[in-house]
Amino acid sequence: MVFNPSNVEAWIAEEHDSDVLRAVDQTSVIERVARRYPMATDTRQIPRSAGLSVSAVDKGARYGQQQIEADAVTLVAKKLGAIVPINHEDLQDPHVNVLDQVRLNWARSYAISLDNACLGVSGDADSSTRPFISAYRALTSSNSRTGYVANSNVIVAASGGVTYDDISDLMALLEGSNYYEPGKLRVIAHPGARQALRGIKDDNGTPIFVQGQGSQDGGTPAMLFNELPLEFSLGARVSDEMTDNPLGARLMFIVNTDFLALGVRSGPESAIASEDSGVGFEYDQALVKMRSRRAFSLTQEQAAAVLVF
């Protein structure tokens, strides 16, 4: 049977304080900390400048002019979504809100998959399995437009595990760059980093990792070296393709979040085809579609560094 779009209700965006949006915000670091760019169409260009230098100017003297080499980063929105059939009998169950549960399950899977696509996918972008050039892919590739050389900002931990020197060297990669802005820096790590970090102390015997208390509800965030907020993402792991269950090497980024560009086209949103119309009529099923249209780019490789462990 051919699917008839007229049987589908209009896409309904999640309300600002909905459980779905809260689940996405709590699970996805990218949704939470990246710089958001609204997108009225499927593509948007955002400027990227090579920067400026400043010279002293004598009283009454002419200001010197500089030619800046600026280019643009093109954000291309991709749909991340799913369709789920729900049996009519389940919809009639007064004790369970099946639709809400399906939407919440999708929200968690979406949040992890988005983070993985933006942080850990190791291959070049394609139409579906690798929607974006991830931060990991960008840092392990050369870019002639920005002058970045592959793996310049990549540290690989030895087989014995993460050490104090690994973390210190990771920090130094940003501290020595022009993109060091303490108020904008975040550490984004796979939760597997917790165990490694809990056992590391500085020369004074002070733990470098301080566990946060309800940070996503306005409490105290987890901190690294008592100065950098630390965010945890299940998507911060290497994978060949976008997935909500990555199994590769774990990742820890330090990044200036101004250069994590998240294009927002629409969503999360959902639409429902009722069980008495369309393809669901044969099976007494309603079809629930959920989607979010996003774009992503690490706009300057020098604004991020990664530890692979």
What is the pTM assigned to this prediction?
Answer: 0.86
| Sign of the CA dihedral running 35, 28, 23, 181 | negative
pLDDT exceeding 90 applies to what percent of the chain? Answer: 57
User: Can you tell me the mean pLDDT for 28-56?
Assistant: 87
| pLDDT at residue 44 in the model | 96
Q: List the chain domain ranges.
A: 13-48+70-308
The pLDDT, as a whole number, for residue 216 is: 54
Q: What is the pLDDT of residues 282-306, one digit of tens each?
A: 667 778 889 999 999 999 999 999 9
- What is the pLDDT averaged over residues 33-56? 85
User: Nearest Cα to 305, choosing from 134, 138, 153, 146?
Assistant: 153
Mean pLDDT, rounded, of the chain: 86
